[in-house]
Amino acid sequence: MHEMSLCEGIRGIVEDQARRHGFASVKVLRLEIGRFAGVEKAALTFAFDVVMRGSPAEGARLEILDLPGRAMCYDCGQPVEIDDRFAPCPLCGGGRLMPVAGDEMRIKDMEVQ
């Protein structure tokens, strides 16, 4: 379950930011996760609650924001949104797509006190 290690990385970021900016706790942490990131959201939510114990984010509400998959179609030259890495272009039906977004995961923001 790589979601546990993802949450350990998030904890490190939270602790670093708490030291830098002097906040005591996180109320809400918002993550942006791309459609192709390969993150199991239920497992991530479970791991978040476990890994954040004893940190400034203990008890924080985790909000996950889904980001779409995006690609550039080399057949029609248009940027498009796709649901699957191997899907054809929704505009022209072409199959020469280069994914350009959708595999990211990042902390969007935190509500702290």
- Known binding-site residue numbers: 2, 73, 76, 89, 92
9 CA to centre of own chain: 12
Neighbours of 94 (CB within 10 A): 16
- What is the C-alpha separation between 40 and 45, in angstroms, rounded? 9
What's the pLDDT tens digit per position in 17-70?
999 999 999 999 999 999 999 999 999 999 999 999 999 999 999 999 999 999
How far CA 111 is from CA of 27, 58, 79, 92, 107, in Å, comes to 5, 13, 34, 43, 12
Q: Point out the annotated binding site for Ni(2+).
A: 2
Going along the chain from its start, the domains and CATH numbers come out as: 1-112 (3.30.2320.80)
Residues annotated within the binding site for Zn(2+) are 73, 76, 89, 92
- pTM (2 d.p.): 0.88
